[in-house]
Amino acid sequence: MLKVILFVILDTLFTIFVCLFVNWWAPLFANDKGWLPNWLSWVQTFDDTLDAGSRDGVFTTNSVFLARVFWLYRNPGYGFSYWALGVPFNASEWTVETYNTDPLHFLAKGPNGQFNLHIIKFGFRFKLGWKAWNMYNKTNGEWLTTPWGPEMRIPFTLSISKA
């Protein structure tokens, strides 16, 4: 549990740091496909480009730069959560303890005290732990065997959002 508390603190501090000092200028260094250079990989979303928000209709603006900035603020420190705080994912080491759909309540446990809690309650979505939820096929109840991102790993998360 001490590791989780430390990771919550690190993740929160990094999020605050990038929101204040990095996200507003980082898109200046993106290539024409929306990828940041390696030295900004802890800011980059590991599973998509900075153009995902405008491409998927999350943001509607005529400014590519602003859409990319908005994407970074929507996903602050995403790469840090994946590369620095994330862990390799081996499906055989994870078990789903609870999975209810209405209301959503997902709890999975992994090795070395790792876990993933994902709940929707009172109109809010709450996520804590390592994002095993994203490696779980909700349709057939089996773990995915293909990587989510460049490696077979899952990021750490502490997230509260409107459901």
> What is the model's pTM?
0.90
- pLDDT computed for residue 1 by the predictor: 79
Taking residues 9-22, what's their average pLDDT? Answer: 97
- pLDDT computed for residue 102 by the predictor: 87
- pLDDT computed for residue 39 by the predictor: 97
- pLDDT computed for residue 32 by the predictor: 95
Structure tokens at 31: 């290539």
- For the chain, the domains span 2-83, 89-162
Residue 111 pLDDT > 90, yes or no?
A: yes
Taking residues 53-74, what's their average pLDDT? Answer: 90
CB atoms within 10 A of CB 59: 18
CB atoms within 10 A of CB 60: 9
**DSSP structure class, residue 36:** P
- pLDDT computed for residue 45 by the predictor: 94
In 3D space, the residue among 11, 21, 2, 31 whose CA is nearest the CA of residue 127 turns out to be 11
The C-alpha atoms of residue 129 and residue 157 are separated, in whole angstroms, by: 5
Q: Provide the mean pLDDT of the chain.
A: 94
- pLDDT computed for residue 55 by the predictor: 87
For residue 58, name the pLDDT band (cuts at 50, 70, 90): confident
